[in-house]
Amino acid sequence: MSFHATVTVSLKLDPAIKERLHHLGEMKQRSAHWLMKEAIAAYVAHEEEMEQLKQETLNRWQEAQQGKVVTHAAVSDWLDTWSTDNTMDRPECGS
């Protein structure tokens, strides 16, 4: 069994949100604390993924600006050969 160190943080919630959180916890038979931990973990994971996708997009854009792309025509020609006896190798990026 492994133990993870934890830290205590505090935050101020709007009273209406606090009440909704408490009510949801009762319905799910979970504490408001548990719900907040789960929500924060899900939010952080989502935002990390979005930042990773953003960085990949920016990297691809820079590559495209440098001419490292495969043209639509080359991809289309390649795909047209998939169901034939003469399947072409995938097209390479220009450089």
- State residue 1's pLDDT score: 64
Q: Are 70 and 92 in contact (CB under 8 A)?
A: yes
- State residue 17's pLDDT score: 97
Domain extent listing, the chain: 15-80
- Token pair 């996708």 is found at 53
> Tens digit of pLDDT for each residue in 25-79?
999 999 999 999 999 999 999 999 999 999 999 999 998 899 888 989 999 999 9
Q: What is the rounded distance in angstroms from the CA atom of residue 6 to the CA atom of residue 71?
A: 51
More confident residue, 20 or 4: 20
pTM over 0.75: no
